[in-house]
Structure 1
Amino acid sequence: MDKKSILELGVGTGVLGERVKSLVPSTEIDGLDISSEMLKRSKEKAVYNHLYLGSADEHLYTEQYAFVYSAFMFHSVKGQDILLSKIAECLVNGGMFILVDLIPNMKILANNADFNAHSIKYEHGAPAMYKTCAEMVDLIESSPFELVELKKLGISKDYNHYLFALRKGK
């Protein structure tokens, strides 16, 4: 793995980057987040080589990575199809994108939940662009990625947690 090999999208407080660095201490991790407050907190963890402020779908990716991951932020991206294309462009051939995200369960969908209220409270006002699992699969199938694994990890309140493992190049 190259020294600059991992990119984390939506670093938050840096807790996931800290865990990744403990598992792969020789690698450098770059990170991006839409919140300057979260970047400030993640910087305190001292695990990131570079931290970038901005929206993942609008960021200009200039580096190449072997691995990109994101946890619980994809639903907050307006241009999800654009983001998938941008991630594919910054990945080396065969590179992996591991996406863990929230999928609303049928109960909350049937009740026409106010996802924007959740977004304002928990997502720093980022847009609420939730999809069903089937819609996520459709989005991935129309992207430059191959779906390698789809796994339900658990549930919290009204949201299912799903892992989508994607490989660049179909």
Structure 2
Amino acid sequence: MSSRASGGALAACLIIAAIVGFGGGAYIGSQSGGGSPSDSESTSGDSTTPVGETPAGETPAATETPAGDGAITLSAEPTQVGPSEDINFAVTMDPPEEGVELIIQRSVDGGEWEAFPNVSPIVTDANGAGTSRVNSQREGVNSFRVVRADDESVVSNAVDVPIG
């Protein structure tokens, strides 16, 4: 029976220590805010852009996802083909994610993006990588990209492949 009392007393002590620790940390943290910036936090003359913000005068790319945040990179080989010649695609995800279905889309000469017809989705492996091959008879600049099947707001970079 004494082992139960010891276990209960230990648990109670740990809970009290956690409450005191969190409360003390919150109190100390609240005391450092509200004053003027210290020398290390000075904002005068610093022209760098904070991480995650867009520099003044630039607009962020609406269809790109930041690296490390589910970003998808698409590459094509070769980068110029004749009608009906194969184009090999490779995709990588950062961070790697297995089992993600990616749909290949195409835009011809700056037209609307549409799913490339009669091609199965690319499914990423354990390394977040995948491949596919297509061929097209539509001459002109064919731009390709991939989008997540489950979240079409996640889009890769576009790769231009002139056909003709």
What is the TM-score of this pair, normalised by structure 2?
Answer: 0.20
What is the TM-score of this pair, normalised by structure 1?
Answer: 0.19
Instruction: State the structure with more CA Rg.
Output: 2
Choose between structure 1 and 2 for higher RCO, CA contacts under 8 A separated by at least 6 residues. 2
- Which structure has greater strand proportion? 1
- Which structure has greater helix proportion? 1
